[in-house]
């Protein structure tokens, strides 16, 4: 077991040789962008349509896909505050001192408790209302009796004006997402609350998978530093009961398996883990049209591991998943153009790119927390040294940032990215490990406070 993690030599050089300006600049930029995203539409009267109004009394709160609805207390408030206080006091010390397996176990339990407590601020409705709403997967999943027929007729239900058109979330994703909930229904877990608990329990494993990936790549110290920020992320507000939290977990475990496959000396074990990685990443592609971008992180993992041997196995297995769906009746490449048309026939046409291209980044800052700006600024200022050292932190953070930038520029992610970009947030948060210890300590408090404020001030749709 490693002892307490000391500041790196670069930390010491930065603190003694020059002022640590970059993180302050990054933090300030993030706060300004977030403030502008909230204030500009209100001060200018700019109609940005973050959501379709449900009634005249709706208090839309763009850029969030939700409403302004402050609440002082809820059933989950006390547990959430207690978790935040205990975490601020003990999380970083425990991350440094605990043996590895107990750390992973504690990380999972703490992350799950954090997600559940935040969701329960709104009572049990916080765990059930989203998956139970008519635009989500569950209602459709309960009606599915013929999976084969569903796949073969999938594209018929995509046009917004078609007979029996799919609801928003079903149409906006490949069938893998819906089939997950069909599976829950058939297992007797298809109730709104039961499905919400299952999704939250799976989403909470994301932090563990990222930590496993980092350690497998030879960076247990980075994993330990990252643990508090991964487990206690403000993204917990949006991961609980959002299907995108499930996607984040599938992606993270796929990358963890890929890292294991790339570092196993036994060829048979390496092939088996690589195949499992390909299976998970192939399933991921069949859950979200935007998550083939996770391929950038897969390349970063292999580059960090200095091994390309898993690539043909993982890529081949993932391709088999995609082709298997095509044989069953659903071709990803045929459905995506129809989804593009459906997207632009809906509310997306009323969302001005001139606002959302940068307001999306404000939402990313809310999801990842303000400290994300400081971490990314630190990566940017040290990019040459990090590249020279083939830093895993640089590779995965840069790959995640490139994926987010590509999604933003595609204009297929206008609004709602507080949940859509959740799978990339944990990998971006690794940047916070480059901050000096004093930054990491008070920065964790800022992250915790952000999550509590977002949960208590807004009615989020996730």
pLDDT digits 0-9 by tens, 386-407: 887 779 999 999 999 999 999 9
What SS3 state is found at 350?
helix
What SS3 state is found at 403?
helix
Q: What is the mean pLDDT of the chain?
A: 92
Give the integer Cα–Cα distance in Å for 244 and 252.
Answer: 12
57 — pLDDT class (breaks 50, 70, 90): low
pLDDT digits 0-9 by tens, 4-46: 344 454 444 444 444 478 999 999 999 999 999 999 999 999 9
Q: Residue ranges of the domains in the chain?
A: 9-460
Give the integer Cα–Cα distance in Å for 116 and 222.
Answer: 27
The DSSP string of 360-378 is HHHHHHHHH-THHHHHHHH
Question: Whole-model pTM above 0.95?
Answer: no
What SS3 state is found at 458?
strand
Task: Answer yes or no: is pLDDT of 53 > 90.
Answer: no
Q: Residues near 136 by Cβ (< 8 Å), separated by ≥ 6? A: 130, 167, 169, 243
Query: Which pLDDT score is estimated for 52?
Result: 59
450 — pLDDT class (breaks 50, 70, 90): very high
Give the integer Cα–Cα distance in Å for 323 and 455.
Answer: 41
Give the integer Cα–Cα distance in Å for 232 and 216.
Answer: 22
């Amino acid at each position: 077991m490693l002892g307490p993690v000391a500041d790196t030599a670069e930390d010491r050089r930065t603190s003694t040789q020059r002022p640590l300006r970059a993180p302050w600049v990054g933090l300030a930029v993030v706060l300004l962008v977030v403030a502008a995203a909230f204030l500009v539409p209100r001060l200018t009267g700019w109609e940005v349509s973050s959501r379709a109004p449900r009634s005249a009394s709706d208090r839309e709160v763009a850029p969030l896909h939700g409403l302004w609805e402050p609440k002082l207390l809820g059933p989950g408030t006390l547990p959430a505050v207690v978790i935040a206080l205990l975490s601020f006091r003990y999380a970083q010390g425990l991350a440094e001192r605990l043996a590895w397996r107990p750390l992973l176990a504690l990380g999972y339990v703490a992350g799950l408790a954090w997600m559940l407590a935040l969701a329960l601020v709104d009572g049990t409705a916080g765990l059930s209302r989203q998956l139970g709403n008519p635009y989500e997967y569950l209602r459709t999943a309960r009606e599915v009796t013929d999976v084969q027929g569903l796949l073969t007729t999938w594209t018929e239900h995509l046009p917004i004006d078609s007979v029996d058109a799919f609801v928003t979330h079903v149409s906006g994703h490949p069938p893998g997402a819906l089939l997950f909930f069909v599976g829950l229904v058939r297992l007797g877990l298809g109730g709104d609350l039961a499905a919400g608990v299952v999704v939250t329990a799976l989403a909470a494993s994301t932090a563990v998978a990222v930590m496993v990936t980092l350690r497998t790549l030879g960076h247990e110290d980075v994993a330990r530093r990252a643990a508090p920020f991964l487990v206690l992320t403000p993204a917990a507000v949006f991961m609980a009961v959002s299907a995108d939290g499930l996607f984040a977990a599938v992606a993270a475990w796929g990358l963890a398996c890929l890292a294991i496959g790339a570092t196993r000396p036994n060829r048979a074990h390496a092939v088996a883990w690589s195949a499992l990685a390909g299976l998970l990443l192939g399933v991921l592609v069949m859950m979200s049209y935007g998550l083939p971008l996770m391929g950038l992180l897969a390349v970063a993992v292999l580059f960090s591991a200095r091994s390309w041997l898993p690539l043909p196995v993982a890529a081949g297995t993932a391709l088999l998943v995609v082709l298997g769906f095509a044989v069953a009746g659903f071709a990803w490449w045929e459905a995506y153009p129809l989804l593009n048309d459906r997207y632009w026939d809906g509310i997306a046409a009323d969302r001005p790119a001139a606002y959302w291209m940068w307001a999306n980044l404000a939402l990313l800052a809310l999801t990842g927390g303000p400290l994300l700006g400081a971490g990314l600024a630190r990566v940017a200022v040290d990019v040459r040294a990090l590249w020279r050292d083939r830093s895993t932190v640089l590779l995965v953070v840069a790959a995640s940032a490139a994926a987010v930038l590509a999604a933003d520029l595609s204009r297929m992610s206008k609004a709602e990215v507080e949940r859509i970009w959740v799978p990339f947030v944990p990998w971006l948060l690794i940047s916070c490990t480059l901050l000096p210890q004093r930054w990491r300590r008070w920065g964790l408090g800022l992250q915790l406070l952000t999550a509590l404020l977002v949960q208590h001030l807004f009615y989020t749709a996730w």
